[in-house]
Every structure is written in C-alpha cells, then in structure tokens.
Chains A and B, each alone.
Chain A
Amino acid sequence: MGIGVFNIEKSYEGAVALNDVSMEIEDGAFVTLLGATGAGKTTLLRIMAGIDRPDKGRVFYDGKDVTDVPVQKRNISMVYQEFVNYPSMTIYENIASPLRVSKTRYSKTDIDKQVRYHAELLGLTAVLNHYPEEVSGGQKQRTAIARALIKDTRFIFLDEPLANLDYKLREELRGELKTLLQQKGGAVVYATPESVDALSMSTDVAYFEEGRLLQYGPLQEVYHNPAYVEVGAYFSYPTMNIMEADKVTEQGKTSLSISDEIRIDVTDFRDRLQVQQYLVGVRAYNLYTSSQNGRGLIPFTATVELAEELGSDTELHVRHQGLVLVVLMQEVARFPIGTEITGYLDPSRLFIFDRETRQLVLKTFS
C-alpha cells in the first residue's frame, strides 16, 4: 500500500528533468524530496500527483497503475508554494470547497462541522468570514493546508509550502505540519530545498541531483550514511566540509593527506581503501578551535575569513592552505577577520568518499 513510481523519465524541451527514477512510499510515511532548485523534485511530485505525465515509467497508487488516470480522478490533495485559494470565496467557503465539489455528498451540517474543525486546527476560526486578500500570508497558506486536509484523501503532496513565508511563521508551521499531516494517515510527499524541513518533519528522505535520485531511505540512515558526497554536503545541518585527500603509504602506515599539516592515519581501515584519491567530509561541529584536552585531534593553522554569530553559536569560515572550512563553535566568540588560529580536526568523525565514484567508502565512526 502507498505510492510507487518506477523508471520515471521526463524532459522539458530537450532538457532532462528526471532520469530513470524509481521509489516506493509506504503508507504513514512522510517523505521529503530534497534537492536544489532544478534537481527534479517538483517534477517528480507533479508526476506522482498526476498533474504531469511522465515520458516513460509508471505510477502506482496502492498497487494500481494510475499513470493514465487524470488528476481530478485520483483523489489527492496538493499544497503549493503560492498561496492558492479561490479569491472570490471567503476562507470558510475555501475550506469547504473540496467537500462541495466532492463526489461523496456531504450534508450542510456535516460540511460546517468539518470546516470548523479544520479551521480550529489551523487557527483560522477568527478569519472564516474574510476573503483571502484580507488575511496574512501565513493565514492564506493555512487555508490552503486546511483545504488539503479536509479532503478525504490518502496522499498529500506539498510543493515548498513554506518557501514564501517569513522565518517565524515557517518555524511555527513546520512544527504543526508534521503532527497535522501524520494524524491524517496515508502518505505525505513534501518537496523542499531546505535540509531543515527534511530533518524536522520527515520519516524518509529522497535526495535528488540533476534529475537523478541519489539516495532514498529513512531520515536517520540518509543523514548518518550519505551514499554520495553530494548528499552529505547538501543534507547536513550545519554544513559538512569536503576536502580532497590522497592516500599515502609509508613505513607500513596508511594515511590520507589533505595538506602538509593534516594527515589522517587510516591504517585501521586500509583494507577498504583501494583507490588513491578520496574526498573527506567532516561536519562543521567536528572542527574545533581548541584541543579539547588532547583527544587525539589533528591541529592545523588557519586564517579567519568570516565570523558569523548565530545566536549562541558562532560560525567561523577559515582558510587553511587554499581550503575554506566552516567551524561551528557552540559559544559566542569574537574573531577579527584575518586572525591566525589553530584549528583542530577530529579524525574519529570523518566521512570518506571515493573521489571518482563519489560514493561513501567508510566512516571513521559508527
């Protein structure tokens, strides 16, 4: 049960938007389609929902092929980045609209009960008699979400629903959406370029790049074991630093050389390091500006290029021999630009990717 897409291909005017994408979504899952603009996530969402037809491949709902079923017969709901509501209807009528056009006949009292319930859920009770143009952006989008929820559907598709909202509202709705959508049962598919959205709401994540599905799996799995360097670099909060490294073997020891100062002893893992060139990933909070009482960290010299205070954290952008690294300090620290510092890298917190295939080879931790 759930949604299945198999070997989906789609191009727009010669440009490939999706290249052989297959994935299955179980009932009860909250799947985030993650990727930069143009990665193909919205295209896939529209194909899953039935707004667009794939050039190749099939779409299944609950094991039934629905590729040729038009969207109005699929019984799904969708929320868009734009706040889509019927301009000439009040918020009340907007929320009621899916029930009014539905094939199932609802009685007037039934509709009223449902509308009021969903309005209450989304905090719209006070504006029910207003028109969309009279309410705030957040309320408009809540109305659109209420319209999606009130419909008796098993699948809900959301296309960057929070993108046009300001920061505070986004935080607020993000929290609410998760609970609201999961109460509904069925499956939720959510396209977004924001890693935070994926981290805070989804059960599963699918990462797209240039029309290809690079990785799809449970949230924790994708976050902790990025299959490709692109996944690790994009789906990380805060940033993952990626550094080029070459394998060096001398005196029976194997190490990865990033610079003449940073050399990582990987003798323990040498059986799994078959090629010469690697990419080493380390999350910003696994770089330090102090030795952390000699936990075997690797020191390196660097120059501060930018110091951003983010509330109680500080994000340092430092340059180490042509490499720009991001260091996240969980404290407020002031570093004038140009300050020479000693950074420390935790060798027991590394992701090692093959530079050629870009796939994850190993992690120096579990």
Chain B
Amino acid sequence: MKNRGWLFVIPALAVLAISAFIPLMTVINYSLHYIFAGSTPTFVGFENYVEVLRDSAFLRALVRQLVFSMGILAVEVPLGICIALCLPKRGPGVAVCLVLLGIPLLIPFNVVGIIARVLTQSAVGVIPEFFALFNYSFNVAKDPVDAFMTIFLLDVWHWTPLVALLCYAGLQAIPDAYYQAARIDGASAWKTFRYVTLPKLRSVLIIGVLLRFMDSFKIYAEPLLLTGGGPGDATTFLSLHVARKAESYNLGYAGASSFIYLFIVIVFSYIFFQLMTHIGKGETK
C-alpha cells in the first residue's frame, strides 16, 4: 500500500461502517420491501414511501416535530445567550455557575422523563397542585396542551444549559478591545451586542443550533415515559412514531419513515448551516 495513512483511518472507518453505514443500508433495504413480522420480504419499490407520505399519523407527527423543534430553537438559543451574558466573567462565582448549569446535562433522558412523570402526576405531583391554586386543572394524561408544554419545558430545562455553556465559552474568547472600541464609537448596548457579540458568537451559535435541532428530533424517552406519546397522539413525535411502527413489526414502513426522517434532519440542518454561515454577510464570494 502506497499511502500508509490509510492504516490509521481503517479503525475509524470500521467503527463508522458498523455504527452508521451498515444500519443505514439495512434501513434502505427494508424500506424497499414489504416485510411483516417474519414473512418473506417482497420487493415493492417505493410503495412504502408513498404509504408513509400518505399516512396522516406520520404527517401529524412530522408537523408536531417541526413545531417542537422550531420552538426549542426559538426559546433555547436566545435564552442560552441571555444566560451566558449574565454569568460572571471571572471570580469564584464562575465555577459555581458552571457546575449549576452543568447539572441538568448530566441527568439521563429516562430519568428526566420519570422526574417529569412524578412531578405532573395528578393527586401526587407538585405541578397539578400548584395549578390547582389558580383553579386550573392541570392533567398531562388528559390535556394535549399540558402534555406538549410539559415535554417542551422539560427540554428547555434540560438543554438550554448546553447552549449557555457554548455561548459562555464563545463570549470569553472575545477580546475586551472589541467592546472598548464599540464604546469609543459611542455604540449603544444593543448595537454592541448586534455588531460585536453576535457576529463573534457566530461559530458557536452554528454548533449550538445544529446540535439542538438534531437532538430535538431524537426526543423519545421523555414523551414515552410521561404519557406514552399521549394523550391521543399529542406528544407522539417523529422518532416515537417510527419506533412504534417498528415495534409492530411493520419493518418496511418503519424503514421508509426512518429514511424520510433522516432526510428531513439532513435537509434542515443544511439549510440552517447555510443560513447561519452567510447571514449578514451579503454576497461577496
């Protein structure tokens, strides 16, 4: 072999093949066949895809997912930036704040789901009790809005710290001279934020938005544990919907919907990436 560099890449490629490529190919293979339980697969072309795209349950899960993901971005990113801006820049407070922020990130998804279930359980939970004070009957098992909002706020609580930590690291990297220069120019606080802080945070924000967007599509354990995707299908997000189909041995359908799911994530991530790399930069290249 001429280029020995390949030897170093082989282990990584092997891991990638096992963890990503082979499963992906299997999914594509499934998606083109009719497989039900143990029956002999028959090739059906794109029929599964047509079925998925015509399935109102899938489309509702997709719309729900997009609403959820966009909402997550709209809340978590600005909130994360705000938290990062409020954190102390130096001193003993830094360590305390970073640890406090890090705690939610250390809690596994399923634990978060169980905590939520305990907190929202009618008759035992603190949250229904609290709402009862205002004569509002909070019930995640009955009210779709209550369930959706619970999952939504849970995610905000769980993952905003990640955005905040990323932004905090980004903020620390901005030299003080930039802020001084803006002050000398007489720029207002908002203009300083708009023309110094935000552009300087661009690269960490790209990472933050992409991570949060892709991760929000993977939301699974929390709705499953809270209400099992209910009430009705109010918290059945895309991943939950796909998994349900696979659990019911409809592998062709599950394969096709998985592939569409992957495709959507990639397309949206690409759009975000392009938008964020070029926003506010006009067309010069």
A130 touches B180 (CB 8 A): no
A77 to B185, CA, bound (A): 8
A101 touches B282 (CB 8 A): no
Q: With an 8 A cutoff between CB atoms, is A81 at the interface?
A: yes
The distance from the CB of A265 to the nearest CB of chain B, in whole angstroms, is 54
A77 to B186, CA, bound (A): 11
The distance from the CB of A74 to the nearest CB of chain B, in whole angstroms, is 8
A90 touches B282 (CB 8 A): yes
A90 to B280, CA, bound (A): 10
Q: With an 8 A cutoff between CB atoms, is A266 at the interface?
A: no
Interface residues on B, range: 20 to 34
Main SS class of interface, B = helix
The distance from the CB of A133 to the nearest CB of chain B, in whole angstroms, is 9
A78 to B181, CA, bound (A): 7
A90 to B186, CA, bound (A): 19
Chain B residues lying within 8 Å of A88, measured Cβ to Cβ, are 195, 198-199, 280-281
A72 touches B183 (CB 8 A): yes
The distance from the CB of B130 to the nearest CB of chain A, in whole angstroms, is 44
Q: With an 8 A cutoff between CB atoms, is A71 at the interface?
A: yes
With A89-B195, A134-B284 known as contacts, the answer to whether A84 contacts B186 (CB < 8 A) is no
Chain A residues lying within 8 Å of B202, measured Cβ to Cβ, are 87
For chain B, residues 159 to 196, give those with C-beta under 8 angstroms from any C-beta of chain A. Answer: 175, 177-178, 180-181, 183-187, 191, 195-196
With A72-B184, A76-B184, A77-B184 known as contacts, the answer to whether A86 contacts B284 (CB < 8 A) is no
Q: With an 8 A cutoff between CB atoms, is A51 at the interface?
A: yes
A84 touches B178 (CB 8 A): yes
A87 to B192, CA, bound (A): 12
With A86-B195, A86-B199, A87-B199 known as contacts, the answer to whether A131 contacts B181 (CB < 8 A) is no
Contact string, A53-85, partner B, CB cutoff 8 A, digits 1/0?
A: 000000000000000001111001110111010
Q: With an 8 A cutoff between CB atoms, is A364 at the interface?
A: no
**Nearest B residue to A157 by beta-carbon distance?**
B184
Which of A78, A82, A86, A103 makes the CB contact (< 8 A) with B184?
Answer: A78
Chain A residues lying within 8 Å of B196, measured Cβ to Cβ, are 86-87
Q: With an 8 A cutoff between CB atoms, is B117 at the interface?
A: no
A49 to B200, CA, bound (A): 25
B177 touches A71 (CB 8 A): no
A131 touches B284 (CB 8 A): yes
A72 touches B195 (CB 8 A): no
B184 touches A129 (CB 8 A): no
Contact string, A90-102, partner B, CB cutoff 8 A, digits 1/0?
A: 1000000110011
Chain B residues lying within 8 Å of A71, measured Cβ to Cβ, are 180, 183-184
With A51-B183, A88-B199 known as contacts, the answer to whether A80 contacts B284 (CB < 8 A) is no
A305 to B195, CA, bound (A): 54
**Nearest B residue to A78 by beta-carbon distance?**
B184
A130 touches B195 (CB 8 A): no
Name the residue in B180, B187, B282 with the highest tally of chain A Cβ atoms < 10 Å from its Cβ: B180
B181 touches A80 (CB 8 A): yes
A49 to B183, CA, bound (A): 11
The distance from the CB of A280 to the nearest CB of chain B, in whole angstroms, is 42
A81 to B181, CA, bound (A): 12
Q: Which B residues form the contact surface with A (CB < 8 A)?
A: 175, 177-178, 180-181, 183-187, 191, 195-196, 198-200, 202, 280-282, 284
Can you name 27 A-B pairs with beta carbons within 8 Å?
Answer: A49-B184, A51-B180, A51-B183, A51-B184, A71-B180, A71-B183, A73-B186, A76-B184, A77-B184, A78-B181, A80-B180, A80-B181, A82-B178, A86-B195, A86-B199, A87-B202, A88-B195, A88-B281, A89-B195, A90-B284, A97-B185, A101-B186, A101-B191, A102-B186, A103-B186, A130-B284, A131-B284
Q: Which A residues form the contact surface with B (CB < 8 A)?
A: 49, 51, 70-73, 76-78, 80-82, 84, 86-90, 97-98, 101-103, 129-131, 134
- A73-B186, A82-B177 given; 4 more Cβ-contact pairs under 8 Å: A49-B184, A90-B284, A101-B186, A131-B284
The 5 closest A-B pairs by CB, nearest first: A88-B199, A87-B199, A72-B186, A80-B177, A84-B181
